[in-house]
Amino acid sequence: MPPEALIFDVDGTLAETEHEGHRPAFNEAFREAGLDWRWDEALYGELLAVTGGKERIRRYLERHRPGFRPPAGVSLDELVARLHRAKNAAFARRVRSGALGLRPGVARLLREARAAGVPLAIATTTSPENVEALLRHALGEDAPGWFAAVVAGDMVSAKKPSPEVYERAVRALGADPDRCVAFEDSAHGVAAARGAGVPVVVTPSHYTRGERFDGALLVVEHLGEPERPARVLGGLAAARAGARCVVDLALLRALLAGGAAAGGGAR
Ligand code: XBP
Ligand code: MG
């Protein structure tokens, strides 16, 4: 049986959005607001321990600007919300400029699932407008409609690694969690999906390559294209590490059936 549904994380999984989108967009928002804050790669890597852009700004202030006070008449909540809106506007501009392409194999797998009638969903910490901008630009105007459920940003009371975002997506799909497959790039994402009982395929991204992905079904360089198969990096049911594969419905079916060691789509 094919998976009942495929559930995708966005940041780092569909595209390298943290590296090429959010970090520069945060810096643009700080500059526009006349703040001398600058998040370099090392600092952003540290701040990614906190999921959610508003939460990340607060963590930065606590850890790196302990004496900071907002201008008179502006509450901290307002300032954070304003900076976050400006960041998302800058992110959308970057998306529209074509700065953010999808990672290998993403469009191929989405199209294969659609053609086979396997429902799609999104389970992400980022804001809904960022998801929409990315999907429209990368896949076409109708792409947001490809997803039967989009659970994003503040729609949940606790962000990843809480499982809530996956629990809501699975409920909206009316699917059996252990017959779905989640796609993630981070340890927080793996914890969220596993916490909801959803098996996970991990494609580590720029900032998460050094993380551990305990409990993942498969850890693979990227989803692969027929002419560019991806290197298997590990995972519970992984075929030999170092083998190459294209993550397609046949491989996912084999993984769910526990037959990945036998090869599935691995070469
Ligand atoms: C992504 C995030 C997000 C983005 C920014 O986590 O943590 O916070 O960095 O998004 P995941 P917003 O990939 O696990 O969903 O600024 O819109 O919150
Ligand atoms: Mg992610």
One-letter-per-residue 3-state SS of 125-168: CCCHHHHHHHHHHHHCCCHHHHEEEEECHHHCCCCCCCCHHHHH
pLDDT score for 262: 36
Residue 267, pLDDT > 60, answer no
Q: Name the residue of 7, 11, 44, 188 whose CB sits within 8 Å of the most ligand 1 atoms, as the mutation to test its pocket.
A: 11
Are 130 and 220 members of one domain? yes
Residue 264, pLDDT > 80, answer no
Residue 237 inside a domain? The answer is yes
Catalytic residue among 11, 40, 77, 178: 11
pTM: 0.93
Q: Residue 53 Cα, ligand 2 centroid: separation in angstroms?
A: 13
Of the three residues 96, 117, 148, the one that is the final residue of a domain is 96
Pocket of ligand 1 contains residue 4 by CB under 6 Å: no
The tokens 């590490």 sit on which residue?
A: 241
pLDDT score for 188: 97
Are 171 and 75 members of one domain? no
Q: Which two tokens stand for residue 4?
A: 């009942």
> Which whole number is the average pLDDT over 166-170?
98
Q: Is 72 helix (H, G, I), strand (E, B) or coil?
A: coil
pLDDT by residue (tens digit) across 103-153? Answer: 999 999 999 999 999 999 999 999 999 999 999 999 999 999 999 999 998
Are 167 and 215 members of one domain? yes
Residue 231 inside a domain? The answer is yes
Are 125 and 80 members of one domain? no
Query: What torsion do the CA atoms of 185, 187, 189, 191 make, to the nearest 10 degrees?
Result: 150
Are 60 and 162 members of one domain? no
Are 132 and 242 members of one domain? yes
Residue 38's domain spans which residues? 18-96
Q: Which of 26, 5, 6 is nearest to 130 (CA)?
A: 26
For residues 31 and 267, what is the distance between their CA atoms, to the nearest angstrom? 49
Number of domains in the chain: 2
Residue 267 inside a domain? The answer is no
Residue 51, pLDDT > 90, answer yes
pLDDT score for 266: 45
Are 131 and 60 members of one domain? no
The DSSP call for residue 18 is I
Residue 256 inside a domain? The answer is yes
Residue 135 inside a domain? The answer is yes
